[in-house]
Structure 1
Amino acid sequence: MSRYEIAFSGRTVPGAQLDSVKANLARLFQADAQRIELLFSGRRMVIKNNLDEAAAEKYRSVIERAGAIVEVVDMDAPIEEIELAPPPAADPEQAQAGATAVPGRLQVAPRDGYMAAFADVEALDFGLAPVGADLQDDKPDAQAPSVDLSQFSLAPVGSDMGQAKAAPAGPTPDTSHLKLAD
């Protein structure tokens, strides 16, 4: 007996309004708006799994009536095995000639069939710097900008620089007629 899962990727039925679909799904799943937004993130999310065929079809039809398109996947479907191609054979001419490594290039030997696809990749052979070495390029010293200041001069110490003078205070009020009562 096959088992099925229901997966949702955010697709809606053609012609359905997105807001109404979200409201229908919120009502159907009794979920808050944050969970419904998570469903519509575009990622494939499994809603329910380990269903028999009848239950999976029921879920699909109810969710489709709400305005969303779900994917019903057979969990017991056989997984296709992929056989990797064998690694390429070494070129006999190079092996006999004793092919020399190109200076500055790293020679990579494949460790398995997958890595054999990358056997002909030329990778730069970067070394490691000793501990404490400065890896940043030297910065040139900053140059002072050339600005022509010949049109300016300095005023002598204590001279008036043209600041506005404060207005003189008015006369001091006469308070001789005022007395304190005991």
Structure 2
Amino acid sequence: MMSDRRFEVIFRGDVVPGQSLMDVKRRLAELFGAPDAKVEQMFSGRPVVIKRDLDEEAAARYRVVLKEAGALVELRPVDPDRQAANEADRTEQTVPPVANPADGAGEPSGQNTEVPQSGPEHSKAAETIGVAPVGADVLPPEYRRDFTPREVDTSYITVDEPGADVLKEEEKSPPIEREVDTSHLSVKDPE
């Protein structure tokens, strides 16, 4: 019996352990038929929606095809109410479709989803990316811990001049004299 649940295929940039990142990117570029720059956007650290509104079986096929290419994806169930609300305001990236997993061939599935381009017409996605000012809190409140500054006595610490011998005479060990025979070693002139 088929479930009526719908899924999104989400990629966060994770690769199968032991796979080379460069090889995975190359295979994804081939799989999507996309230029390297588009595939590079998938590895930005942000979740990327590979495919939306799939039944459970199709979503599982996508996961298998992408894992074979070296990419680890998450299948996220779509809440019908949330899906309707998100249709009007999509802010997550999408990428070109994977070869149709149903037929096992390397042909694109024909549906037209793509990675947003840069530019003013795509500024909504760009608005969510930024650099925090120096000294800003970058952790959301739920990840922050209470911080209590401690008074640490550093009055006993001293700093010597550069090049100074930092060991006191009583802390130094005498060097151990050893006889090492190097008569069997030779150095060849470079050619």
**TM-score over 0.5 for the pair:** no
Task: Give TM-score scaled by structure 1 length.
Answer: 0.42
Task: Give TM-score scaled by structure 2 length.
Answer: 0.40
Task: Identify, as 1 or 2, the structure richer in helix.
Answer: 2
Larger radius of gyration: 1
